[in-house]
Amino acid sequence: MAHTYRILTLNINGLTSDNRQQMLEQFMRRHKVDFAILQEVTSKKHIEVKGYHIIDNTGTAGRGTAMIIREDLQMDRIKRIPSGRGITAYYKNICLINIYAPSGTNNRTERETFFNKDVIELLPRNPTETIMAGDFNCVQTDDDCIGHRYKSSKHLPSLGEEMLPCCKKTSVHGTCGKGLSSNSS
């Protein structure tokens, strides 16, 4: 049986003002979001949304990731990267992965470790339907660059090769503002 879930992914850049928090809550309600996947979270107290529960991971750097999940959708098998840059949580047989990758040329080694070690730890060990979202901080083309011409996308092929055996193909569709449909039980 096909289920449709509404998923929001957003780099909230701290979300410390009450006004911005209210905007997020209104957006989630208006669009009936089931799962919100957030990056650059600095504090759980600024992301309270009535009718939802929060899984947060601010980690050692003071900024991290969080998931806001409709309260009737119970998550389990939660795994966090100590730096705060990633969370995995399962809803039934669906693995949700939230990542917030390091950016910038000064963080090249940290970025390589993140994609080649940390993210791999978040991947499911057995084939399952997987949704990976977040802030990849990837520069795909020179047009995407600001400042230096460092292209970070070279690290993604190894991640993709690791993911393919872990995840079975899923019928997924949707665009901004539309739900994703998954053939899950």
Q: Where are the domains of the chain?
A: 3-171
Q: Is the dihedral of CA 29, 30, 33, 37 positive or negative?
A: negative
Whole-model pTM: value is: 0.75
Stretch 41-53: mean pLDDT, rounded?
A: 80
Q: Are strands 7-14 and 35-41 parallel, antiparallel or unpaired?
A: parallel
pLDDT of residue 148: 45
How distant, in Å, are the alpha carbons of 56, 86, 152 from that of 63? 10, 11, 21
Residue 63 in contact with residue 91, Cβ under 8 Å? no
pLDDT in tens, 150-159: 444 444 445 5
The CA distance from 173 to 179, in Å, is 8
Label residue 175 by pLDDT band (50, 70, 90): very low
Please report which helix (H) or strand (E) contains residue 26, including its range: helix 18-30
Would the pLDDT of 144 be above 80?
no
Q: Of the CATH numbers 3.60.10.10, 3.40.50.300, 3.30.70.240, 3.30.1490.120, which one belongs to the domain with range 3-171? A: 3.60.10.10
